[in-house]
Amino acid sequence: MSRPKQKLALLTILSIWILSGTLLFIATGAYAQTRTNNSDIYSQLKLFNEVLMRLKQSYVTDLSDSELIEAAIKGMLDSVDPHTNYFTPDEFSDFTTSTRGEFGGLGIQIDKKGDYITVISPIEGTPAFRMGITAGDKIVKVDGESIVGMSTDEAIKRMRGEIGTKVTITISRPGVANPLDFLIIREAIKIRSVPYSFVLDNRVGYIRISQFNENTSRELREALGKVEEEGIKGLIIDLRWNPGGLLDQAIDTVNEFIGDGKLVVETKGRMNNTNRQYYTRFSIKERNYPIVVLVNEASASASEIFAGSLQDWDKGLVMGKTTFGKGSVQQLYPLSYGYGIKVTTSYYYIKSGRCIHKTLTDKLLKGEEVSKEELDTEKENNHKEVYYTVNNRKVYGGGGITPDIEAESDFLTTFGVELRRNNLFFDFAVDYLVKNDHQATKDFYVSDRLFNEFLEYARDKKIEFNQVDVDSAATFIRTSIRSEVIGKVFGEQEAYKNSISQDRQLKEAIALFDKFNTMEEMFSHAATLRKED
């Protein structure tokens, strides 16, 4: 038998195996469908086999069996939702490392959406985060070579390299006409789930949770102990830009505030083994101080479970903007030869009964067009659904977590984006400290003279701007210069404290603690604001 015919025969046998296996699966009752549906599956698999055979026999060039089958698998998964994915062995290995707390690279979580390697989230404290790469950016080139259409596995190989080496990635950003180049120095990326914790001037504790990995609950307990030792009168937990992570860590962090034996979340799906309830497990010390949880449109998944649960149990007031609405549950299934698949199996429902998932989120992540009218309609419909907390407060949803108090975020101008993208604040601070013997105080002030020196520095770097640009970004520029200088002398946490000093949402949260002493007073204030709206 000739080699082409031999390959075709083997492919036909493979198709028959797939077909027979499916029918056996149906016959044993593992797939509970009606006889009509079974017949339909049989006919569709038969049709698939016919197409495959005809393509192999008739296409103008020889085709790869593995590539055809892989394309068929990916096409099948692309027809459902953006979270159901197929992984090559290297992709499967890379995906599982993203929750382990340490890996090498640029500091971005990526996924392939259509032909584009897309940034899902920059990791806080990494080179990519510092330079302003953001969720939704499409990576179109690495070191000048196109990666459009490239597999995630191959793209990762192009971007990774020796620590200290440089790589240029070219970004296509929604709303920006021209591609953006980012020259990044590779670092060993160590992910801290709780990168910052400190006490603010008004004795309110501040804890930043950047994602939920396997270290989150331990790091949170350490951070709580640290700020509580200083005698805080309240606590702000910042979940903005938190993309989520491990479910068990979300539950254990909620546990720190509501105690043991409490329902946090349940999953509901089509298969019985996906319907589960998750309760807290540990006794804790009682915490009676008021808590504000900050969220925004990029707070997703596990961070939504955390924020919504503190809201449902009346242990925290949620403030900011309605969250992302990623409330679907995926399970990882290893396949033969190191391959893997991630499948959406259920949705999250928190204690009040709210489903976190926002249906339009899936369309957006798949790159499909969603009109403002659709977004407004979904938001309006979600707000018609009223739920109740354990103390009978009204909350709204699902489709993300609706905050008790809405707070607008700061707007970063195009000029500000350009300055950050070109890493000018970092470079300017280095030059400044070299000229000043690496000396600065914690109350370092950006004078008008230094401000103007920075503008001249930007002009020398070929950044174009006018007076309107300067006026609109002045506060951002001063804060960024100050933050970089302080950080290089006193460390990253001091830099972070300064960088958030003008944060509009955070300032509104801090102001609540100056007006109200208890959680009940804050809830009453939020209810009053809602009535006024």
* pLDDT tens string 93-115: 766 655 454 555 888 878 777 78
483 neighbors 429 (Cβ within 8 angstroms): no
Report helix, strand or coil for 211: coil
Task: Report the percent of the chain where pLDDT is more than 70.
Answer: 90
Phi, psi (deg, nearest 5) at residue 185? -95, 125
Q: What angle do CA 432, 438, 442 make, to 5 degrees?
A: 90
302 neighbors 244 (Cβ within 8 angstroms): yes
Task: Report the percent of the chain where pLDDT is more than 90.
Answer: 48
Report d(CA 193, CA 454) in Å as an integer: 34
Over residues 52-77, the mean pLDDT reads 88
Q: What angle do CA 455, 460, 462 make, to 5 degrees?
A: 100
Residue reference for tokens 């698998």: 73
Report d(CA 417, CA 465) in Å as an integer: 12
Exposed e or buried b per residue across 179-192, where buried means at least 16 C-beta atoms within 10 angstroms of its C-beta: ebebebebbebebb
Residues 6+ apart with CB under 8 A from 420: 131, 132, 412, 480
Strand partners, 182: 169
Q: Which of 88-97, 238-247, 392-401, 496-505 has the lowest mean pLDDT?
A: 88-97
**Kind of pairing, strands 263-269 and 276-279?**
antiparallel
- Taking only the tens place, the pLDDT of each residue in 9-25 is 444 434 434 433 343 33
Report helix, strand or coil for 285: coil
386 exposure class (CB count in 10 Å sphere: 0-12, 13-18, 19+): exposed
Report d(CA 205, CA 215) in Å as an integer: 20
| Topology classification of domain 102-190 | Pdz3 Domain (2.30.42)
Residue reference for tokens 């509501």: 258
pLDDT in the model for residue 420: 87
Helix (H) or strand (E) holding 514: helix 504-515
Q: For 319-466, where are the alpha helices, taking DSSP H only?
A: 359-365, 372-384, 414-421, 424-435, 448-460
Report d(CA 281, CA 261) in Å as an integer: 6
Residue reference for tokens 């979600």: 382
Strand partners, 110: 119
Residues 6+ apart with CB under 8 A from 266: 275, 276, 277, 278, 348, 349
Over residues 84-91, the mean pLDDT reads 84
Per the rule left: phi > 0, alpha: psi between -120 and 50, beta: everything else, 369 is beta
What is the DSSP secondary structure assignment for residue 108, as one 8-state letter? E
pLDDT at 464 over 90: yes
Q: 448-460 vs 467-490: helix axis angle to the nearest 10?
A: 100
Considering only residues 298 and 279, tell me which one the structure prediction assigns the higher pLDDT: 279
261 neighbors 285 (Cβ within 8 angstroms): no
496 neighbors 287 (Cβ within 8 angstroms): no
Residue reference for tokens 């015919």: 5
pLDDT at 446 over 50: yes
Report d(CA 223, CA 205) in Å as an integer: 10
pLDDT in the model for residue 451: 97
pTM of the model: 0.77
In terms of CATH architecture, what is 196-328+347-408? Alpha-Beta Complex (3.90)
Mean of all residue pLDDT scores within the chain:
86
pLDDT in the model for residue 183: 92
| Domain residue spans of the chain | 3-63, 102-190, 196-328+347-408, 414-502
Handedness of CA 363, 365, 369, 371 (dihedral sign): positive
Residues marked as catalytic: 301, 312, 326
36 pLDDT band (50/70/90 cuts)?
low
